[in-house]
Amino acid sequence: MRGAFVALFAVLIGLGGALPSNAVDDPSPKPTIEEPVYGCIDPVDEYGVERQCQLKINIVTPVCDNDVPKLRYKVTPTGTPSTKVTITWDNPSGADVVYPDLPLEGTVNWPGAVEGPDGKGIDWPGWTELPDGSWVEGDAYDWVRPNVKVLFQVNPEATVTVSYPPSSPVCITDPPDDEVLADNPKTVVLSATGTDAGPLVLAGAGLVVVGALVVAGVAIARRRRPTY
């Protein structure tokens, strides 16, 4: 009897070992992530002739879209299987702005441009909004306008200089004129000029009136002079 019990116990242990293990004890292997190929391949052909390896910039166009300054681009690499491009905005006096792993064709926002929930521009590089809702010139992105160098890297790479897109009647790339603070540097000169011109205009008008009165007086005197 005791031998039969021992045999049954051994069978149960054997069956337990055949059951699936808990996932914690036997985790699934992590998926293998292939690193992207970055760089020119096969620099020379089978005859030792150097292969072409370059990046052609087909399109680089500053645009205004829904009051947001953007850059439309298209690049074509030769000599590499890479299908991603890194766009670097060159800051000459500080940290660059880098947009990595972008498609070879697309549109990106200008650094410092901010969109609202509806996708419409609500902030623009080179401007600062005050608590009262007015705007003054100057912010951390002054360097992206009027011109900025942009580096496209697929390895090979290419650099171009682009101009900030101007505003138009249907799309603005700066704060609305009626929201710009009156004492902005660009408007102070105009205000001062207008203030200085005011007294001159009044003085000129006064001289005209005096002249008119003198002419009228002379004419009246001639009419009253007796004739012989």
- The tens digit of pLDDT for each residue in 101-122 reads 999 999 999 999 999 999 999 9
What's the CATH code of the domain at 85? 2.60.40
Q: Is 114 domain-assigned?
A: yes
87 with 151: CB under 8 angstroms? yes
50 beta partners: 44
Q: Is 86 domain-assigned?
A: yes
Q: How is residue 1 annotated by DSSP?
A: -
Q: Is 5 domain-assigned?
A: no
Q: How many CA atoms lie within 13 A of 151 on its CB side?
A: 15
Domain span at residue 176?
54-186
Q: Is 209 domain-assigned?
A: no
Q: How is residue 178 annotated by DSSP?
A: G
Q: Is 216 domain-assigned?
A: no
List, for the chain, all residue ranges whose pLDDT scores fall below the cut of 50: 5-6, 8-13, 15-38, 186-205, 207-210, 212-228
Please give the tally of structural domains in the chain: 1
Mean pLDDT of the chain: 74
Q: Is 33 domain-assigned?
A: no
Q: Is 177 domain-assigned?
A: yes
Dist. CA 151–CA 90, nearest whole Å:
7
Q: Is 224 domain-assigned?
A: no
| Angle, CA 189 vertex, CA 185 and CA 193 arms, to 5° | 165
